[in-house]
């Protein structure tokens, strides 16, 4: 049997690259396909700004004339310049359970990265921390959520056998929505309200959210850069617009909370109803009827997924996480949700993790980004 690794060069190649995972994961209950409309935008250099400051390579593995694996290599020059590092990334690695294919794809990206002068490679990691990051290492019995990997259990083991080790771990908590908030939450919320230094901002429509998108994403830039968030590079205005365009249509205004100090946003948190059941029913296609299936699933779900959040550095330690969390929990309870998925929390972010555990959050998934010196 002949194994060939070749670059994605044509639109037909790219279609094969984008749709291969649904064949590899066919019949797997917990796997959720991507929204294919978003995938065509993500992998299009004319529509995805990240290609302007990243070197990339897309590869397909072919065996006996059939596609059997894929991988993407990324060098984020903006991030490397900011951090003064020479790091490559691998992402979107999918194969059948074939050790030779897996090793060949990873090896080809490593070779490409060395030729580009990189000293280290990490992965799975996309253009930025807004993309799926890290392979699941615990919690395979739970279904995937939006913007996360749902890999096979053998993949972390195989990458370690190829000389990779742990770079960082992400923890995901499931938090039951309480009928009554803990007393300490109420006291902190009331104290902040009483002092009047901070103003809670809530929204009634997507139209109301739109003017606040850039200020909130600019705040995210400040928060994540100052906190040295793993893998993050600041978004420019066009990237902010692209991110807003991607998520605004699915945002429920009830689950976007922000805090102002005077005229400035200083904290925010964003959640969306878990719509993965609908995406699975739609098979990742919005048309002709996929969008209705996704929206219907979002209305029926009992789980709210947290996506983004941050607090300006000089406003941390004053209870703004509790201030926003109180309102988010109240909105979730009013909407009939039963639990929250906290999305990725860095293992090293002990303050946030402690808050999750204080509220009764249960650690139910772990993801890992791997690294190897080149």
Q: Is the pTM of this model over 0.85?
A: yes
3-state secondary structure 354-371: HHHHHCCCEEEEEEEEEE
Quick one: average pLDDT of 278-296? 93
**Domain made up of 7-169: CATH architecture:** 3-Layer(aba) Sandwich (3.40)
pLDDT band at 1 (very low <50, low <70, confident <90, very high): low
On whether the 178-337 domain is CATH 3.40.50.150, my answer is: no
51: its two tokens: 């290609």
All CATH 3.40.630.30 domain ranges in the chain, comma separated: 7-169, 178-337
Q: What is the token pair recorded at 130?
A: 């807004």
Asked whether residue 162 carries a pLDDT value surpassing 90, the answer given is yes
The pLDDT confidence band at residue 122, using thresholds 50, 70 and 90, is very high
pLDDT category, 225, cuts 50, 70, 90? confident
Percentage of the chain surpassing pLDDT 90?
A: 75
Instruction: Tell me how far CA of residue 227 lies from CA of 179, 215, 233, 346, in angstroms.
Output: 33, 18, 12, 12
Q: What span, in angstroms and rounded, lies between the C-alpha atoms of 354 and 324? A: 16
Q: First-to-last CA distance in the chain? A: 30
Q: CB neighbours (10 Å) of residue 144?
A: 21
Nearest to 220 by CA among 90, 284, 106, 128: 128
CA 252, 255, 256, 258: dihedral to nearest 10 degrees?
160
pLDDT tens digits, one per residue of 31-85: 999 999 999 999 999 999 999 999 999 999 999 999 999 999 999 999 999 889 9
Between 233 and 64, name the one with better pLDDT.
64
* Contacts with 133 (C-beta within 8 Å, 6 or more apart), sequence order: 124, 125, 126, 149, 170, 231, 344, 367, 369
Predicted confidence (pLDDT) at residue 170 exceeds the cutoff of 70: yes
Ramachandran bin of 343, using left for φ above 0, alpha for ψ from -120 to 50, beta for the remaining angles:
left
Query: Is the separation of the CB atoms in 95 and 56 below 8 Å?
Result: no
Give the SS3 label for residue 300: helix
- Whether the predicted pLDDT of 135 surpasses 70: yes
Per-residue pLDDT, averaged over 204-219, amounts to 89
Picking from 84, 85, 80, 108, the residue whose alpha carbon sits closest to that of residue 95 is: 108
* Cα dist from 346 to 100, 151, 204, 229, whole Å: 32, 19, 31, 9
**For residues 167-201, b (16+ Cβ closer than 10 Å) or e, as one string?**
bbbbbbbbbebeeebeeebeebbeebeeeeebebb
Average pLDDT over residues 195-213: 91
């Amino acid at each position: 049997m002949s194994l060939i690794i070749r670059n994605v060069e044509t639109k037909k190649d790219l279609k094969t690259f984008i749709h291969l995972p649904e064949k590899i994961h066919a019949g797997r209950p917990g796997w959720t396909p991507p929204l294919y409309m978003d995938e065509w935008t993500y992998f299009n250099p004319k529509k995805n700004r990240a290609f302007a400051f990243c070197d990339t390579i897309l590869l397909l593995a072919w065996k006996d004339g059939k596609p059997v694996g894929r991988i993407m290599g990324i060098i984020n020059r903006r991030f490397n310049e900011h951090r003064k590092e020479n790091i490559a990334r691998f992402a979107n690695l999918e194969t059948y359970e074939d050790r030779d294919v897996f090793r060949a794809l990873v090896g080809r990206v490593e070779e490409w990265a060395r030729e580009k002068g990189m000293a280290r490679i990490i992965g799975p990691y996309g253009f930025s921390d807004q993309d799926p990051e890290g392979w699941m290492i615990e919690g395979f019995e739970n279904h995937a959520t939006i913007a996360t990997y749902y890999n096979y259990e053998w993949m972390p083991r195989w990458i370690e056998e190829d000389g990779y080790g742990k770079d960082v771990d992400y923890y995901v908590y499931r938090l039951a929505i309480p009928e009554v908030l803990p007393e300490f939450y109420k006291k902190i919320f009331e104290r902040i309200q009483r002092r009047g230094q901070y103003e809670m901002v809530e929204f009634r429509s997507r139209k109301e959210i739109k003017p606040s998108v850039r200020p909130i994403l600019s705040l995210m830039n400040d928060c994540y850069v100052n906190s040295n968030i793993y893998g993050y590079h600041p978004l420019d205005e066009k990237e902010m617009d692209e991110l807003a365009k991607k998520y605004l249509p699915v945002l429920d205004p009830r689950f976007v909370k922000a805090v102002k100090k005077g005229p400035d946003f200083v904290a925010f948190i964003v959640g969306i109803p878990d719509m993965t059941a609908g995406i699975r029913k739609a098979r990742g296609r919005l048309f002709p009827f996929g969008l209705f299936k996704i929206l219907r699933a979002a209305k029926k779900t009992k789980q709210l997924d947290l996506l983004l959040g941050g607090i300006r550095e000089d406003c941390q330690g004053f209870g703004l996480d509790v201030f926003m969390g109180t309102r988010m929990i109240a909105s979730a309870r009013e909407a009939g949700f039963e639990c929250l998925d906290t999305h990725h929390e860095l293992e090293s972010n002990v303050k946030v993790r402690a808050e999750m555990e204080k509220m009764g959050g249960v650690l139910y998934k772990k993801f890992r980004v791997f690294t190897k010196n080149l």
